[in-house]
Amino acid sequence: MALTLQVNGRARTVEADAETPLLYALRNDLGLVGTRYGCGLGMCGTCTVIIDGKPVQSCDVPVSAAVGKNITTVEALAAGDDLHPLQRAFIAEQAAQCGYCASGILMAAKALLDVNRNPTDTDIRKALERNLCRCGTHGRILRAIKRAAEEMRKA
Amino acid sequence: MAQTKEPVARTLPGSLETNRRLERWLCINNDGTVTVTPGKVEIGQGILTALVQMVAEELDIDVMRIRLAPATTAFSPDEGITSGSRSIQESGLALRHVAAEVRSLLLEQAAQKLGVTLENLSVSDGVVSARSGGSVTYWELATADLLAREATLDAVAKLPAEHVVVGTSLRRVDILGKITGKAAYVQDMALPGMLHGRISRPPGPRARLKSIDLKEVEQMPGVVAVVRNGSFLGVVAQREEQAIRAERRLARIAQWDAGEPLPDNDPRRLLTLPAESEVISEKGDAATTGEQQFSAEYTKPYIAHASLAPSCAIAQQDGGKLHIWTHSQGIYPLRGDMAQALGIAETDIIITHAEGAGCYGHNAADDVTLDAALLACAVPGKPVRVQWMREDEFAWEPFGSAMVMRLNAALDDNGNIVNWGHELWSHAHSTRPGGRGGVNLTAAWHLEKPLPAAKPGNPPLPGGGSHRNAIPLYEFPNQKVTNHLIRESPIRASALRSLGGHANAFAIESFIDELAEAAAADPVEFRLRHLQDARAKAVIEKVAQMAKWQSGEKGDGERGRGIGFARYKNLAAYMAIIAEVKVEETVRVERIWCAVDVGQAINPDGVINQIEGGIIQSVSWTLKERVDFDRQGVTTRTWEDYPILTFVEAPEVEVALINRPQAPPVGAGEGTQGPVSAAIANAIYNALNVRLRDMPFTRERIVAALSA
Ligand code: FES
Ligand code: FES
Residue with the smallest CA separation from ligand 1 atom 3 is A42
Q: Which atom of ligand 2 approaches the CA of B44 most closely? A: 2
For residue A36, which ligand has an atom nearest its CA? Answer: 1
pLDDT given at position B80: 87
A40 lines ligand 1 (CB under 6 A): yes
A57 lines ligand 1 (CB under 6 A): yes
pLDDT given at position B669: 87
Give me the DSSP letters along B690-704. Answer: ----BSS--HHHHHH
pLDDT given at position B3: 44
The larger pLDDT score, comparing residue B83 to residue B278, is at B278
pLDDT given at position B281: 97
pLDDT given at position B189: 97
Mean pLDDT for A129-136 is 97
CA distance B100 to B96: 6
pLDDT in tens, B411-436: 999 999 999 999 999 999 999 999 88
A35 lines ligand 1 (CB under 6 A): no
B 204-233 → A contacts, CB under 8 A: 221
pLDDT given at position B585: 86
Give the Cα-Cα-Cα angle B371, B360, B467 (nearest 5 degrees).
110
Q: Which regions of chain A carry the CATH code 3.10.20.30?
A: 2-76
CB B225 within 8 A of CB B237: no
Of A119-128, B163-172, B624-633, minimum mean pLDDT range: B163-172
Ligand 2 centroid–CA A98 distance in Å is 5
Any A CB within 8 A of B401 CB: no
Any A CB within 8 A of B605 CB: yes
pLDDT given at position B1: 37
In B76-120, the DSSP E strands lie at none
CA distance B495 to B458: 9
A38–chain B nearest CA distance, Å: 5
Give the residue from B605, B664, B671 showing the smallest Cα distance to B50.
B605
The pTM of the whole model exceeds 0.80 = yes
Q: Is the ipTM of this complex over 0.95?
A: yes
pLDDT in tens, B328-350: 999 999 999 999 999 999 999 99
Give me the DSSP letters along B308-340. Answer: SS--EEEEEEETTEEEEEE--S-HHHHHHHHHH
CA-to-CA separations, A41 to A93, B132, B391, B569, in angstroms, rounded: 30, 69, 10, 39
Strand, helix or coil for residue A4: strand
Please judge whether A128 and B185 are an interchain contact, meaning their C-beta atoms are less than 8 angstroms apart.
no
A95 lines ligand 2 (CB under 6 A): no
pLDDT given at position A155: 82
Domains assigned to chain B: 14-171 (3.30.365.10), 189-258+305-396 (3.30.365.10), 268-302+399-429+464-707 (3.30.365.10)
Give percent above pLDDT 90 in chain B: 90
Residues 6+ apart with CB under 8 A from B684: B560, B562, B581, B583, B587, B690, B692, B697, B702
Best residue in A29, A134, A140 to probe B by mutation, most B CBs within 10 Å? A134
Give percent above pLDDT 70 in chain B: 98
CATH annotation of A85-154: 1.10.150.120
First to last CA, chain B: 69
For residue B647, which ligand has an atom nearest its CA? Answer: 2
pLDDT given at position B290: 67
Write down the mean pLDDT value for chain B: 95
A2-76 classified as CATH 3.10.20.30 = yes
pLDDT in tens, B131-143: 999 999 999 999 9
Q: Please check the confidence at residue B377 and state whether its pLDDT lies above 80.
A: yes
Q: Please check the confidence at residue B5 and state whether its pLDDT lies above 50.
A: no
pLDDT given at position B89: 84
Categorize the per-residue pLDDT at A117 as very low, low, confident or very high, splitting at 50, 70 and 90.
very high
Q: Which of B169, B309, B646 sits opposite A38 (nearest CB)?
A: B309
Mean pLDDT for B109-128 is 96
pLDDT given at position B674: 98
Of B122-126, B143-147, B414-418, B539-543, minimum mean pLDDT range: B143-147
B34 DSSP β-pair partners: B28, B66
Q: Which regions of chain A carry the CATH code 1.10.150.120?
A: 85-154
Q: A54-57 and B652-657: which strand pairing?
A: unpaired
A96 lines ligand 2 (CB under 6 A): yes
Q: B195-199 and B232-237: which strand pairing?
A: antiparallel
Q: Please check the confidence at residue B383 and state whether its pLDDT lies above 70.
A: yes
